[in-house]
């Protein structure tokens, strides 16, 4: 049996997302432990640093900073520093970030709806 994804409608040639290809890198950013949660949080509203720290429960200062930097570099997140005293920095989704969130939210909704029964299966199988 020949496995070829070359004609796949998912745009993957030479198998699923070859190691060296750009989509693998972007996939890693988007599905990183904290990337998903930050994107979902910002899909609801613009948030300040401290608000993100609260909403994305469990994220460390270091990981939040790193996640935001990656999402900013990818053009998903906009960092807006207001020239006021005390300083106010707000994070929001760019137009590209909203495009992404639109594809991410149905997945997150499905997970939220099904997680309990999925993990119940674990205990049942043990």
Binding site for a second copy (CB under 8 A): 1, 3, 5, 8-12, 14-19, 21-23, 25-28, 30-31, 33, 36-37, 40-41, 44-45, 47-48, 51, 54-58, 73-75, 96, 99-100, 103-116, 118-119, 121-122, 125
Closest approach of Cβ 23 to a second copy, in Å? 4
SS3 44: helix
Closest approach of Cβ 123 to a second copy, in Å? 10
Closest approach of Cβ 16 to a second copy, in Å? 5
* Residues paired with 92 in a beta bridge: 78
- Closest by CA to 16, choosing from 6, 31, 26, 25, is 6
Give the CA dihedral 96, 5, 105, 80, nearest 10 degrees. Answer: -20
């Amino acid at each position: 049996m020949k496995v070829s994804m070359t004609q796949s409608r998912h745009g993957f040639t030479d198998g699923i997302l070859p190691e060296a290809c750009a989509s693998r890198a972007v996939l890693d950013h988007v599905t990183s432990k904290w990337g998903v949660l930050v994107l979902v949080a910002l899909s609801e509203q613009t948030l300040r640093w401290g608000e993100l720290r609260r909403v994305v429960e469990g994220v460390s200062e270091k990981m939040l900073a790193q996640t935001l930097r990656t999402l900013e570099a990818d053009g998903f997140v906009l960092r807006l520093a207001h020239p006021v005293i005390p300083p106010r920095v707000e994070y929001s989704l760019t137009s590209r970030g909203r495009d992404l969130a639109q594809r991410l939210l149905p997945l997150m909704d499905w997970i939220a709806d099904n997680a309990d029964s999925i993990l119940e299966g674990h205990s049942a199988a043990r």
